[in-house]
Structure 1
Amino acid sequence: MHACRSTLEDPLIYFMLFANVYLYGVNDLFDLDTDLLNPKKAGPERSAAGATRLLAASAAASALAAVPLAVDPTAAALTVLYLILSTAYSAPPLRLKARPLLDSYSNWLYIVPAALGYYMSSGSLPPAWVWAAGVAWTAGMHALSAVPDIEADKKAGVKTVAVAMGPRGTMLFVVANWTTTAVILTARDPLLAPSLLYPAVALYLALRPHLVPTWYWRFPYINTAMGALAFLYATRHIWTGYL
C-alpha cells in the first residue's frame, strides 16, 4: 500500500507544481510582447529578465522532479510528451499558439496529466473515446480563452484561432468542439449528460460574443465543479473496469 501511494504521489506533486511552473514559465517568456498589450495579463511589471529567470528555474526543477517518473517507460513517455507540447506551444520555431487551429488542437497537453494518473492507477492508458472527448474539450476551452485576447494579439502580430475567426466564428468553433465532447460522453454513459452544459453555454455566447470576456472569468468555477464530477466518475469506474 505504501509503495502504491508513493507511486501516485510522484506525478501528483510533479504536475501540480513543477510541470505547471514549466508550462507557464515558457509561455510568459515568449509572450512578453502580447502580455504588455493585454489588460488581462500582469502588464509592464512583467520583465524579460524575470521571465528568463523563471524559465531557467522551472526547466531545471522540471528535469529534476521528473526523474521519479522515468522508472516506468509509459509514465516517462507521457511526461516527455507533456514537456514537448508545453514548449512547442509557445517557443519558436513551432510556436503553435500563432498557428490557427494548431493552437487550439495542441492544447490536449492538458489531458496528459490525467492520462498519466489513469495509467498509474489502472495500469493501462485511457480508451480512445476518452482521448477524443478530451482533445475536443481542450480545443474549445483554448479557443474561448483566446477571444478576450484578440486585440492584444492583433497588435502583437500573433494570429491565433480567435484572431483568424473573430469572436462569433470562434464561439461557433467552440460549440462544435464541445458538442463533440458532449455527444461522445453522453453516448458512452447517460450519467455524463452534464457535459451538455458546455455547448449550451458556448451557443449562448456565440449569440452574444460581447459577453465572452465576462464569462471567461466564470469558467474556472464551472470547470472546477465539472472536474470534481469527472474525477468522482473516473475514480469509481477505474476500479470497476467500466472505462
Structure 2
Amino acid sequence: QNPSLKNQAKAFLILLTVSAITSALLLYNNAIGQLVYLSSIVLAMFYSTPPLRFKGRPVLDLLSHSLFFGILLVLQGYYLVGKGVPEPPLLALVGVYSVFLELRNELEDYYADKLAGYNTTVVLLGLNRGLKLLSMISIAVVSLSGMLLLHKSPFLVVTAVPFLALWFATNPRYEKYVRAIDFYVIFTLLVHLFYVVNFGST
C-alpha cells in the first residue's frame, strides 16, 4: 500500500477523533451524553473502515448498524435536549428498524457483495434465507410500532391493521411491502414526536 495514503488515513482518523471529542464536549453537558455521542462515532468508524469493518462481518453488521444508526442516534437527541432516557419501546423500535434497513440494503447488494467477497449476514445466509429473515424482522418492526402507539393511545393500535393487511397483500412483492413498513414506522415516530412536543411524554 502507498505509505502516503496510509499516513493520510491516519491523519484523517486523528482529526475525526479530535473533532468528535470536541463536538461531544460542546454539545453535551453531561458525561453520559458525551459517551453516547462518542460511542456512535466510534461504531460508525468501525462499521465502515478496516481492519474491523463490521459491515463485512455477519451479525456484527446488523448489531453495529442497529446501534450507531438507530438506538444511539435517538439517545443523542434525547440527551441533547435534556429529555433523559426514552421509553424502551422507542429504543427497541428504532434498533430493530435499523436492522431491517441494513438487511434490506444487504439484500439489494447481495450479488455485488458476493462478487466482491464481502461476507455480510445475507451473503452468509443466502438470498432466500435473507428474505425470510427480513420478513420476520418486518413483523417485529410492526409489532414494536404497535406497542409504542399503544403506549400513547389504545385507539392508535388499530392503525396497524391496514399496514399489516398491505404487508400480507403485497408479500412477496418485495418493493411494496418494505415501503409499507417504512411508512408505518414514519407514522409511528411522527405520532411519538407529537406526543413528546405537546404532552412532554418521552
TM norm structure 2? 0.71
Picking from 119, 122, 136, the partner of 1:159 is 119
- Tell me how far 1:126 sits from its aligned partner: 1.2
For structure 1, the 5+ residue unaligned runs are 1-47
- Asked if 1:107 is matched to 2:62, the reply is no
For the residues of structure 1 that align with 2:64 and 2:10, how far apart are their CA atoms? 26
- Asked if 1:68 is matched to 2:26, the reply is yes
For the residues of structure 2 that align with 1:144 and 1:199, how far apart are their CA atoms? 21
Tell me the secondary structure at the aligned position of residue 92 of structure 1.
coil
**Closer, same or farther in 2 for the Cα pair 1:233/1:149, shift >3 Å?**
same
Worse-superposed segment, 182-191 or 101-110: 182-191
**Preserved CA contact (<8 Å) 1:178 1:198:** no
Query: For each residue in 1:145-181, what CA deviation from the matched residue of structure 2 results, as whole angstroms up to 9, or x when unmatched?
Result: 1112122211221111121223332222122122112
Q: Which amino acid aligns with 2:189?
A: A
For the residues of structure 1 that align with 2:46 and 2:93, how far apart are their CA atoms? 22
Instruction: Identify the residue that residue 86 of structure 1 maps to in structure 2.
Output: 44
Q: Which amino acid aligns with 2:104?
A: L
**Closer, same or farther in 2 for the Cα pair 1:170/1:241, shift >3 Å?**
same
Instruction: Identify the residue that residue 137 of structure 2 maps to in structure 1.
Output: 177
For the residues of structure 2 that align with 1:168 and 1:200, how far apart are their CA atoms? 21
The number of equivalent residue pairs is 188
Tell me the secondary structure at the aligned position of residue 109 of structure 2.
helix
- Asked if 1:143 is matched to 2:88, the reply is no
Instruction: Identify the residue that residue 240 of structure 1 maps to in structure 2.
Output: 199
**Preserved CA contact (<8 Å) 1:104 1:143:** yes
> Residues 5-20 of structure 1: matches in 2 within 5 Å?
none
Query: For each residue in 1:120-142, what CA deviation from the matched residue of structure 2 results, as whole angstroms up to 9, or x when unmatched?
Result: 33531112222222221111110
Instruction: Identify the residue that residue 186 of structure 2 maps to in structure 1.
Output: 227
For structure 2, the 5+ residue unaligned runs are none
- Tell me how far 1:85 sits from its aligned partner: 1.2
Picking from 56, 59, 76, the partner of 1:116 is 76
Worse-superposed segment, 185-194 or 128-137: 185-194
Query: For each residue in 1:195-234, what CA deviation from the matched residue of structure 2 results, as whole angstroms up to 9, or x when unmatched?
Result: 67489559946x35xx65xx7xx95x98588537614522
For the residues of structure 2 that align with 1:222 and 1:180, how far apart are their CA atoms? 10
> Residues 128-139 of structure 1: matches in 2 within 5 Å?
128-139=88-99
For the residues of structure 1 that align with 2:165 and 2:44, how far apart are their CA atoms? 27
CA RMSD of aligned residues (A): 3.8
Tell me the secondary structure at the aligned position of residue 141 of structure 2.
helix
**Preserved CA contact (<8 Å) 1:175 1:202:** no
For the residues of structure 2 that align with 1:142 and 1:104, how far apart are their CA atoms? 6
For the residues of structure 2 that align with 1:106 and 1:132, how far apart are their CA atoms? 14
Tell me the secondary structure at the aligned position of residue 52 of structure 2.
coil
For the residues of structure 1 that align with 2:165 and 2:47, how far apart are their CA atoms? 25
Tell me the secondary structure at the aligned position of residue 123 of structure 1.
coil
